[in-house]
């Protein structure tokens, strides 16, 4: 039972790390990156579809992103989704592909994005701590029911704490990488 509780907590915590990294990838830096737009939802024939399923996304140069839709009829819908997103980009369409030019970020905008990324990291740390709290309460319930001795409970709690610190360190490492990306010119 202890192993099951620990595995469940580890799974939830690892999902928080994956979520944090995906969220960080969606934050714009000074460079073009496909991760900024690939999860963008586009209304396509009445259904919301992620852009990565509708088009090929490439980066021909550092500050330009090129989107080549598989269906040319979707160009207007893709452009509309990009304009309505919070990226602050204006797409240019030549009838075949959509180009997105990334202007350099201002110092103030960089600081705002760093604050946003730090908040995302904190939200994911909170979800890790919630997973730890849930696992601890399950272990304490097992101990109260007599299925777990005090020594086993203490050992399992130490494992959960060590796992929590390891996972939080991974989130902090990802945060530091994203901060570096945001603050470099």
Going along the chain from its start, the domains and CATH numbers come out as 2-25+106-183 (1.10.132.20), 34-101 (3.30.1360.40)
What would the pLDDT profile of 51-93 be if each residue is shown by its tens digit? 889 999 999 988 888 999 998 888 989 999 988 887 778 888 8
pTM (whole model) above 0.95:
no
Do residues 104 and 154 touch, judged by C-beta distance below 8 A?
no
Nearest to 54 by CA among 35, 86, 78: 78
């Amino acid at each position: 039972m202890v192993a099951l509780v620990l595995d469940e907590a580890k799974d939830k915590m690892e999902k928080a790390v994956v979520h944090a990294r995906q969220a960080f990838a969606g934050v714009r830096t000074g460079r073009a990156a496909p991760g900024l737009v690939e999860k963008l939802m586009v209304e396509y024939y009445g259904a919301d579809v992620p852009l990565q399923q509708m088009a090929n996304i490439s980066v021909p140069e550092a500050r330009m992103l090129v989107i080549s839709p598989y269906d040319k009829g979707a160009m207007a819908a893709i452009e509309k989704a990009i304009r309505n997103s919070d990226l602050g980009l204006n797409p240019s369409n030549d009838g075949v592909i959509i180009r997105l030019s990334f202007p350099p970020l201002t110092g103030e905008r960089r600081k705002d994005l760093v604050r946003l990324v730090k908040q995302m990291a904190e939200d994911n740390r909170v979800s890790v701590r919630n997973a730890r709290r849930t696992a601890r309460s399950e272990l304490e319930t097992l101990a109260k029911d007599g299925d777990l001795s005090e020594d086993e409970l203490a050992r399992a709690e130490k494992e959960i704490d060590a796992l929590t610190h390891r996972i939080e360190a991974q989130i902090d490492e990802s945060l530091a990488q994203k901060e570096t990306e945001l603050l470099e010119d």
